[in-house]
Structure 1
Amino acid sequence: MTQTISPSQLKNMLSDGEELALIDVREQGVFGQGHLLLASCLPLSHLEMRIADLVPWMRTRVVLLDGGDGEALTETAGERLTRWGYGNVALLAGGLAAWRDAGYEVFSGVNVPSKAFGEYVEHAYDTPRLTAGELKSRRDAGEDIVVLDSRPFAEFHRMSIPGGIDAPGAELVYRAHDMAPAPDTPIVVNCAGRTRSIIGAQSLINAGFPNPIAALENGTMGWHLAGFNVARGATAVAALPSTAGLEHARTAATRVAERFGVERVSAETLAEWRHDGDAYSLFLLDVRSPGEFALGHLPGSRNAPGGQLVQGTDEFIAVRHARIVLIDDTEVRAVMTASWLIQMGWHDVHVLAGGLNDLDLTSEPHTPLIYGEPWPNLIEPADLNTVLDDGSVSVIDLDTSLIYRDGHIPGARWAVRSRLQTQIDDLPASQTIVVTSGDGRLAALAAGEIAVLRPDSAVLVLKGGTQAWKTQGLALETGLTHPLGPNDDVQYKPYDREGGVEAAMQDYLQWEVALVEQIARDGNLTFRRYD
């Protein structure tokens, strides 16, 4: 039986300087309603698929928790981790409820350490900001202002400031010089809300850009709330730097590395660290864009675009006090990302010296180690389509509620894997149950559980998942039409909501601003200031 620890024991572990992975195994939407500050959300539903990336060293101390209100998620998770070889696993007795009852802080939302850090940076460095009204008035008056959007392209494409150019996170210092070569051209950095706007603007300031720099206060949400139209479907992307732009970026990165004490590690030393893989947690993160990563990367590395790594560190690294090596081709993006992780309180951060030059690369996609046995019985999309309407088949879709809402197999019931034991009772009796998910991997892991719960039904996995169904141009149904339970599996952003969007935006922005004070009360996370 997995050992348990008390809230006070966990509180001490959080400050002892040793490696610790604090894993909340509830679904993200429930996690977002209340959780511990330094917990990473890894739902039981996805444990087999993500634990190896988030906790690569099997001797890391792992503490699991759930809500504590009669849930048994941690017991299942603990048994699985032990079976897979994790040797130092404990459960938080009483879960979140016991932590709250002990008088400790409980946080709402997701990516809280990163969001709070953005607010801290604005206060600590007095990052200049511009309101939506000020930006629009100045542009309407004909002023040449370059607006750089610091989000990934998909977010930018969905909703952006008119005339904006996409330059996600760490790409800003790398690419911005060519976007605004005249030193008197103002640059305004935006995101959807606050964090990436602030970090992006301060990155340019830290890098020594001579331009007037400002963060767009409250990002696209602030623009929308001010009554201005956002652009949809924008495609403008900051180009790779010219020779002059790259020289400028490298000079800037050198300045930043010196100021924030960014350490470099040689390829030879990194090879030794990797050989010592049974001594500590080591994360190899390539901070370039996904497209660049796909063309060639260091074997064993994962893609973690710099801006997103700072924005949601807990989604890439679940182990406090782990060793982190950041990689890119020119060092610029790795240095900028490292400078922020250091200020966030990560102490063992390094940049691969010389980048990827003269190293053997691979274009093979990163394939995470997945535990568990995939269900072997498959059905082709075309074959499912022929029997979909005859009443002999029930389809269970285990994708997120948001993806299901945007388009799913007609008649498919939406469910959450970790809740199948109760949700499957509402599934119609069928001779055959077909399980699907995005690419089919989650469905293949869950199908065996469904077979146990429904022993009288044949259970099949849709080959290639719902993506294969869509690729073949088969019919789709939209909306949350057939849920088997509440859609609290993921955190809905304000603009994901079907109503009350403006109120949700206001609440979100107020929540971000209040985080710094709450983190100070918690006492388990200290940011570092460099004057």
Structure 2
Amino acid sequence: MTRRIDAGTLKRWIGDGRELAILDAREEGEFGRAHLFWAVPCPLSRAELAAPALLPRRGTRVCAVDGGEGHAERLAALLEGMGCTDVSVLEGGAPAWKAAGHVLFSGVNVPSKAFGEWVEHHYGTPSVDAAELQAMREAGADLVILDSRPMDEFHRMSIPGGIDVPGGELAYRIDALAPRRETTVVVNCAGRTRSILGAESLRQAGIPNRVIALRNGTMGWELAGFRCAAGETATYPAGIPTAADAARARAGRFADRHGVQAIDHAGLERLRAEPRTLYLLDVRAPAEYAAGHLPGALSAPGGQLVQATDRWVAVRGARIVLCDGAAYGQPDGTRARMAGGWLRQLGGWEVFVLEGEGGAAGSHAGTGDDPPLAAGDAIAPEAAARLLEAGGAAVVDIRRSLDFREAQIPGSLWGIRTRLDALRGRLAGAAEVVVVAPGPALGLLAARELSGLTGAVVRVLAGGMPAWRKLGLPVLADRHNPPDADCADVYLRPYDRNEGIEEAMREYLSWEIDLVNEVARDGDARFGTAATGGAQAGGGHAGGARDGAGAATAS
């Protein structure tokens, strides 16, 4: 029987220095309403796939939590079934944590977002608001606007004239993007975290340019009455930068200040042999990872890794090995060192960068996605379309609600995989059911559950929605299906909502700014304390003096 612990015990565990993972079994939208600071979402609907990556060592101490609904017990049973040997459940879940006098946090990626606010206060990251940036643009100032988000977010909306340079690439590629030291570099994201971390990465790297963050990002831009661009694709020059060696030297100084350690491939194998949790994360761009990567390495693009660390790293006290091009014999090392320096300050993990010959020979191509479906479990898009046209089947889509809104097969039903019994009545009488899933593994799990619920023949759409769309088969977009209130699987960003978008933007930005105070009240984060050497007071960084009186801006 799974051990149950109280809030006081878990609070002591958080501070005892031993390995600990706190996994929250609720869906992301539910998790985002109120959760523990160091809790990591592991929703039941995809826990079979998420948990093995979050817990690479099965002996890690784990506490499963929820909102008091009983989901934690189900997650604990799943974890024990996959071989975890030290699993507990927080008695009473998040409500009991609050009743014991401890702090609960709303939102997602909270440790990373709180860390971004700490960085701004600690290092005095300079910023400008939307009106100031627009005035600079109208005056013809020598500036470049760099958007630190991934291309899909940039493509959806961006600051006019911006260039997409995801945060992990900034320090690596800045010499080509701002070759003149007189050029002011403005870094933005949708809100605050990636703007601050991107700008401060360049400042910590010590580039000669003036670097500033766009305060409140695209949200602040729109709230100021300016219009974002849509559909833009401008990005950095492909390939290895000509100034890669200079970028690496700058990043090396930053990493050294914060205790990041370099290891070779033999060192990696020694770490793997030790009884400690070890994450191997490839911080290069996704396309580079897909072209070839080390066995066991997960794709974690550097900027996203720092902005959403809990997506990849669940275990407090773990070791993290980061690899970029230097692990494959290329002139790199910048991206891993910059990400490593920030991770050291964020969570105090032991962080290593992998480099030297030995990686290319064992590299794997591809993204690490699920293997293909067996013939009997799958249905081709053409066959599914004929079946639907004949009226002989129902379609159940278990992708993210936001993805379903953007593209859905006409007449299909959306549902959360582990809560498909809610669709039972609407599926009554269906002889066959087609499952649309984000990948084969989740599709198969849903198919088995639906088969038990309905007695129908259930098959997974081969290739999912991309294969359906590639053939030009009918697709609908419906922003209101499912409605906001039903999107329990995602934490809706302000611009994902159908109502109150401007109010939600203002609330989000206020929430993010106040995180520093909430973290202090909680007491479980010690940002910056793991760093060794270097300046630990605001302003003690390369290039700090050049920003003058405008350096400390807390918006």
TM-score (norm 1): 0.94
1:96-140 alpha-carbon deviations (Å, 9 max, x no partner): 121111111110000000000010111111111011111110110
**8 Å Cα contact 1:393/1:430 also seen in 2:** yes
1:249 aligned partner: 247
CA shift digits 1:63-111 (9 cap, x unpaired): 111110xx23222222222122111111111111211111111100000
1:258 Cα deviation (Å)? 2.8
Q: Displacement of 1:141 after TM fit?
A: 0.8
Corresponding residue number in structure 1 for 2:539: none
Aligned to 2:361: 360
Q: Is the 8 A contact 2:25 2:72 kept in 1?
A: yes
Match among 72, 75, 82 for residue 74 of structure 1: 72
| Cα pair 2:480 2:498 within 8 Å, conserved | no
1-structure distance, mates of 2:186, 2:377: 53
Unaligned runs of 5+ in 2: 326-331, 530-534, 537-555
Q: Separation in 2 of the partners of 1:377 and 1:479?
A: 29
Quick one: which of 198, 213, 216 aligns to 1:215?
213
In structure 2, C-alpha distance between the alignment counterparts of 1:315 and 1:380, rounded to whole Å: 32
Larger mean Cα displacement after TM superposition, 73-82 or 122-131: 73-82
Cα separation, 2, equivalents of 1:245 and 1:10: 48
1:41 aligns with 2:41: yes
How many angstroms does 1:243 deviate by? Answer: 6.0
TM-superposed CA distance for 1:246, in Å, is 1.6
Measured at CA, do residues 494 and 243 of structure 1 come closer, stay the same or move farther in structure 2, by a change above 3 Å? closer
SS in 1 for 2:182: coil
Deviation sequence 1:225-284 (CA, Å, 0-9, x none): 1111211111111225776522321221122123222211122111122234xx121111
- 1:154 is matched with 152
- Closer, same or farther: CA 348–374 of 1 in aligned 2, 3 Å: farther
User: Which aligned pairs between 1:78-227 and structure 2 lie closer than 5 A?
Assistant: 78-227=76-225
> Match for residue 346 of structure 1?
348
Task: Identify the residue that residue 302 of structure 1 maps to in structure 2.
Answer: 298
For 1:15-54, what aligned pairs fall within 5 Å after superposition?
Answer: 15-54=15-54
Shift of 1:158: 1.2
Is the Cα–Cα contact under 8 Å of residues 193 and 222 in structure 1 kept in the other structure?
yes
> What count of residue pairs does the alignment treat as equivalent?
523
Deviation at 1:361, TM superposition (A): 4.0
Structure 1 residues 379-390: aligned runs within 5 Å: 379-390=379-390
In the TM superposition, residue 353 of structure 1 has moved relative to its aligned partner by 3.3
Check 1:449–1:480 CA distance in 2 against 1; reply closer, same or farther (3 A cut).
farther
> What is the distance in 2 between the residues matched to 1:15 and 1:374?
47
What does residue 502 of structure 2 align with?
502
Whether the aligned pair in 2 keeps the contact of 1:285 and 1:324 (CA below 8 Å) is yes
CA separation of 1:412/1:474 partners in 2, compared to 1, >3 Å: closer, same or farther?
A: same
Residue 466 of structure 2 corresponds to which residue in structure 1?
A: 467
Shift of 1:367: 2.9
- Picking from 314, 326, 339, the partner of 1:337 is 339
Equivalent position amino acid for 1:458 in 2: V
* Cα shift at 1:452: 1.6
1:361-400 aligned within 5 A: 361-367=362-368, 376-400=376-400
Answer yes or no: is the 8 Å Cα contact 2:292–2:366 preserved in 1. Answer: no
Distance 1:375 1:53, change over 3 A: farther
Does the 8 Å CA contact 1:176/1:238 hold for their aligned counterparts? no
Residue type at the aligned position of 1:470 = R
Contact 1:148/1:189, CA 8 A, preserved across alignment? yes
Show CA shifts across 1:271-329 (max 9, x none).
122234xx121111111101111222222211111100000000011111111001111
Any conservation in 2 of the 1:53–1:368 contact (CA below 8 Å)? Answer: no
- Aligned residue for 1:274? 272
* SS class of match (2:468): helix
In the alignment, does 2:327 pair up with 1:328?
no
CA RMSD, 1 decimal: 2.1
How far off its partner does 1:15 sit?
A: 0.9
Match of 2:282 in 1: 286
Shift of 1:499: 2.7
What is the CA–CA distance in structure 1 between the aligned matches of 2:313 and 2:369, rounded to whole Å?
Answer: 14
User: CA 1:310 to 1:48, structure 2 compared with 1: closer, same or farther past 3 Å?
Assistant: same
Deviation string, structure 1 residues 339-370 (Cα, Å, up to 9, x no partner)? 1001113231111133x676424242253799
Moved more, 91-100 or 246-255: 246-255
**In 2, distance between residues paired with 1:259 and 1:111?**
26
CA displacement 1:392-446 (0-9 Å, x = unmatched): 3111111111011001111011111121233423434312222221234312112
Question: Does the CA contact (< 8 Å) of 2:479 and 2:498 recur in 1?
Answer: no
* CA–CA distance in structure 2, aligned partners of residues 186 and 377 of structure 1: 56
* TM-score, length of structure 2 as denominator length: 0.90
